[in-house]
Structure 1
Amino acid sequence: MMSCFQTFRALATCIAAGSLVLLGSIAHAEGAARPVVGAQPADVPNVPALRIDDSISAAEMQDLRLVAEQNGISLDEAITRYAWNDNFALVVDTMRRAHPESFTSAEIVDAFHAWISFKGPAPDVGVVLDAFERTAPAVEVELRADEGYSERELERSIENVHYAIYGSPGVLQAATSFDADTRTIVSTVVLADPQKVSLALDLEEAAQGALAAVSTGDSDIAAAVTITQGATLGGDDSAGYHYGGEVLSGCTSGFGTRASSATSGTRGVATAGHCGNSQSDDGYALTYQGGHQGTYGDFQWHTGGVAHADDFYAGSATVTETTLRDVSGIGAPTVGQTLCKNGATNHASCQEVRLLGDCRDSMCNLVQMGARLAGPGDSGGPIYWGNTAYGLHSGWRYDPFAPFDRDQFARADRIDDALGIYIATN
């Protein structure tokens, strides 16, 4: 049987040379004339949305090269470990949508192993996995059953516990996530008055009450509260044609948006919700349309200035506004998947997803990454892999158990829940 490495490498060899030509045609030219107001967008060619059995695209090859350079590994090693991650993430989201009441979670473990779990018995998903095996035959996917809770139920539990703790008297900051190993929703708290440690009992009671209010009774999920001294639990990174991945006046734009669906309605551009409402791009003032810092994440959107497109700058390790790409679809992240971020300050970098369902102060359903790679001014920047939009960079949170900071982003597939708009795909 042909290995995953051989399958991807055969196509990668063909793409590698061609991608250099593509890069030259889509990179932003320094000193080029800025577009005039009212002109039609200089749109790059549309790319088909990712399919489960797709091989490496030209855009993905660029990301794989960046990952290889950043991690000090060969391109072959990067292909073996990361080239199938987006295909698997699409498998996971397909199962999530087909079985919303039973799907629990999934994780990419290493170059050759991944798993998907369900609340009860695992459903028949052979057709979906067959398509994935054609692309990554060397990757073993384990199906796990009887977790006792669904992803939807866990999300509601995390939200309920977090907002109960964050809204409690005496709490200055709160961050909440789920520890799958111990099956515990853990809230870390900074008190307004560090001397009032006696509040710990009240916060524990609040957490238990909030969990009981939404518990299914058979999930065996616990809640715990930890008070940390002298720490900041997290923060934000705010500091021609309007594309995603452009430098704004205080943040970075994420992706183009449309008001009615991914392919119709008024065009705009999205960034992080905590960024200032008055933003400008390339000297043109943008018009604030709405924002959300809450249950669904961290978003805002703007219109105006010059024409908007669905394309975005993927950036490079040293330049932000370079490598213009089409957005072909919106993806849902999976734990262990490697994704890239572009921002005004620290430009492009890639790392693995660590946790879903992360909460920081007023915002929930954020995605926690493995390390702190972004900087001030990167807020709102695109989170992507290949031509697929996964989210907008939000900021960071402190992990007292590591202990170090980790980046966070808001999910692209939640912006419609937050603002009633969509990431544009045309």
Structure 2
Amino acid sequence: MPSGGGVRPAVWAICSPLRCGLPYTVEVQTGAPLAWKDLLQVQESMYMAVVAADGVGNAISEVDPATDEIRFTYSVAPDKEVDPASLLGTALKAAASTGRTVASVPVRFTEVPEIRSQDQATIKGGHWLTDSSANACTSGFTITVGGLNGVATAMHCPNYMGYEGASGVIAYRNAASTTSSGANIDLQWHSTIAGNTTSTKFQADFSEERNVDSASNAMNDDPICNFGKGKNYQLCGTIYRLAVCRQGSLYWCGQAVTEENITVSGDSGGPWYLGNVAKGIHSGLVELDNDGITRSAYTPQTRVGENLGGNVKTS
């Protein structure tokens, strides 16, 4: 509660670690900015601490690329309470544990009644992956890990799935490693079983296949497209945020989010791309900024290398 009593405003903390002693808006300190990679490590450490904090029901986090402000939006679990000062202290302790110089990083906390975030779980990319219970996802791009060929999809999809309904084609290998901060990355991969071949092609629309010529990450405001078997056609949008943590079946970090929702259930694991350039693997949905807008979220393709130890196959 703010000093002097009264009802705590929705946005109750905007501060830097040098001035974060009270749960209300304080002056933002300025200084040398962190490198983007270090900023993400700080964000992920703080996010994992926030979602584990007593009374927190759900939380999402994002980084404003213009200001490097780390934003947290959280809801309170039923019949629970969240002490703002305690939550803030927990987050800042986690930030300090990274060993990064974080005195110049602004942080914002916003409490909301409800968080909207979910996964979308319904050899080439863009094909059906199904298990014995008819759970369905979409294959992402084909990849190579440790000399083995295979295909990537979302970690929240079932581990043991057939390719287009057929067994004996792919075999589950492993999920993505967690980050150094303990955050989860929504990726897993399946190797191609001997006797089958692996192509660099992916389905980009109902009746269109493309080769992957290269792989690179999207930047803010870039155009981007998705294909998933849930909707079975291509839709395109625009990148809105690049560093988002959200809750689905696990707490996912390192995700990119579009301006709008262009995906449906069953699209999970499917390819995000622009032309013939691989951009990422579909994950789910999230609402940011408490604005009532549901947006699509995916895992950037660089996480194949960072957390699966492989690379996207290109022609």
TM-score normalised to structure 1 length: 0.59
Q: Match of 2:117, as an amino acid?
A: G
Distance 1:359 1:266 in 2: 30
Q: Is residue 294–residue 363 contact of structure 1 (8 Å, CA) maintained in 2?
A: no
Letter in 2 for 1:157: V
Distance of aligned partners of 1:196 and 1:283 in 2 relative to their CA distance in 1, 3 Å threshold: closer
The alignment partner of 1:418 has SS state of: helix
What CA RMSD, in Å, does the superposition of the two structures yield over aligned residues? Answer: 2.2
Specify whether residues 198 and 357 from structure 1 end up closer, same or farther in structure 2 by C-alpha distance, changes over 3 A only.
Answer: closer
**Aligned pairs (5 A) from 1:129-168:** 148-168=33-53
- In the TM superposition, residue 216 of structure 1 has moved relative to its aligned partner by 5.0
1:275 partner SS: coil
Structure 2: 5+ residue runs without aligned partners?
Answer: 1-30, 131-135
Which runs of structure 2 are paired with 1:14-163 in the superposition (5 Å)?
148-163=33-48
CA contact (8 A) 1:297 1:411 kept: no
1:369 aligned partner: 258
Equivalent positions of 1:7-406 (< 5 A) are 148-180=33-65, 183-193=68-78, 195-214=79-98, 217=101, 220-229=104-113, 231-239=114-122, 242-249=123-130, 250-260=136-146, 265-285=147-167, 286-292=170-176, 294-295=178-179, 297-304=185-192, 306-315=196-205, 319=206, 322-346=207-231, 347-361=233-247, 362-406=251-295
The Cα shift of 1:180 comes to 4.4
**1:184: Cα distance to partner?**
2.6
In the aligned structure 2, how far is the partner of 1:212 from the partner of 1:198? 21
CA contact (8 A) 1:175 1:233 kept: no
Partner of 2:25: none
1:218 and 1:416 map into 2 onto residues whose CA distance is 27
Alignment of 1:402-421 (within 5 A): 402-421=291-310
Aligned equivalents of 2:286 and 2:297: distance in 1?
Answer: 7
TM, length-normalised to structure 2 = 0.78
- Greater shift, 199-208 or 327-336, is seen at 199-208
Which piece of structure 1 moves more, 283-292 or 295-304? Answer: 295-304
Q: Distance in 2 between matches of 1:404 and 1:156?
A: 27
Report the structure number with the largest CA radius of gyration.
Answer: 1
Is this contact kept in 2: 1:340–1:383, CA < 8 A?
yes
Structure 1 consecutive aligned stretches of length 4 or more whose deviation exceeds 6 Å: none
Any conservation in 1 of the 2:74–2:112 contact (CA below 8 Å)? yes
What is the CA–CA distance in structure 2 between the aligned matches of 1:247 and 1:217, rounded to whole Å? 45
Where does structure 1 lack aligned partners over 5 or more consecutive residues?
Answer: 1-145
**Shift of the alpha carbon at 1:217?**
4.5
Quick check: which one's strand share is greater?
2
Change (3 A) 1:215 1:311: same
Report the Cα distance in structure 2 between the residues aligned to 1:198 and 1:167, rounded to whole angstroms.
Answer: 12
**How far apart are the structure 2 equivalents of 1:209 and 1:390?**
34
Per-residue CA shift, 1:188-216, capped at 9, x if unaligned?
123332x4334333212212222344475
